[in-house]
Structure 1
Amino acid sequence: MAPSEIPRTVKVVNTAELIHLDDEARVCGLNRQHGAGWLAEHADPEAAHYLWPAFVHRLNRRPEYSPHWRCMLLLALRDGQHVFSLLDVLPATFYRLPETLDCETKAQVVERLSGQIQTVAEWSARNV
């Protein structure tokens, strides 16, 4: 699949891998909805987090990292809440993540991300 073709799948990552993905996005100058260190401070270290590529994104100022995928992120926080965030992920990085979820779990994650869910910004305004 070409980088300009978005995969229709959901992948699960642990907190350490999520922090690594966030660091990669920061180093590449890609979009992240949280500041450096925010995930280490607020993400549940024992939880699963879910990435669903939403659309292809391009940066003229960083052609070496374009195109990449803007992923919807279902993020589990230390306080037990789940919030919506976005994270840009390089296609090669996304493909390296194992495909471990069954179809029913993927559908549940997509449904949750497509519904009314608190955003990181909304959560931060109330809790930080």
Structure 2
Amino acid sequence: MSSSVPRTVKAIDTASLIRLDAEAIEYGFNRNHGLGWLAEHADPQALHYLRPFMVHRAGRRPEFSPHWRCMLLLTMRDAQEVFSLLDVWPASFDQLPETLDRATKQAVAHRLDYGKLPTQAQWADLNT
């Protein structure tokens, strides 16, 4: 595996996001949302966006290390956009199709970096 993350953003539907989150739980990755949380709170019709930003190494699970820590632009059932993190196995990320044009990727990256989005935890404190 490459020692650097891909410089891209990928759109992901809710069902695929839930599968990636379940994989993160199964592999023992630190950044996941907990079993069933996304199914309960994420907008089932929305597209969400993943952007890898760092290589993460898990010393206690060397068979799943390194993996990628991704920023996640997540749309909730109430249409609120929130910032979250998700650890993703590189092969699983690579299987996601590239569907976004360059301008859309840049716009999403800018929202993740500078959009002052509430975090998933902040949203959960106010809404659950």
Q: TM class by shorter-chain length? A: over 0.9
SS at match of 2:110: helix
Match of 1:123 in 2: 123
Tell me the CA shift for residue 40 of structure 1. Answer: 0.2
Number of residue pairs aligned between Structure 1 and Structure 2: 127
Moved more, 30-39 or 59-68: 30-39
Give the aligned residue type for 2:121.
A
Q: How does 1:18-33 map to 2 (within 5 A)?
A: 18-33=17-32
Counterpart-to-counterpart distance in 2, 1:62 and 1:90: 12
Deviations 1:10-57 (A, max 9, x none): 001100000000000000000234221000000000000000001000
Aligned-pair identity in percent equals 61
RMSD: 0.8
TM-score normalised to the size of structure 2?
Answer: 0.96
CA–CA separation in structure 2 for the residues paired with 1:34 and 1:46? 18
TM-score normalised by L of structure 1: 0.96
* Match status 1:43 vs 2:73: no
In structure 2, the partner of 1:100 is 99
Superposed CA offset, 1:55-91 (max 9, x none): 0000010000000000000000000100000000011
Q: Residue 3 of structure 1: CA displacement?
A: 3.5
* Unmatched 5+ stretches in structure 1: none
Q: Where in structure 2 are the equivalents of 1:32-111 lying within 5 Å? A: 32-111=31-110
Gaps of 5+ in 2: none
Instruction: Please state how far the C-alpha of 1:4 moved relative to its aligned partner.
Output: 1.9
- Runs in 1 of length 4+ with deviation above 3 angstroms? none
Q: How many angstroms apart in 1 are the aligned matches of 2:46 and 2:106?
A: 19
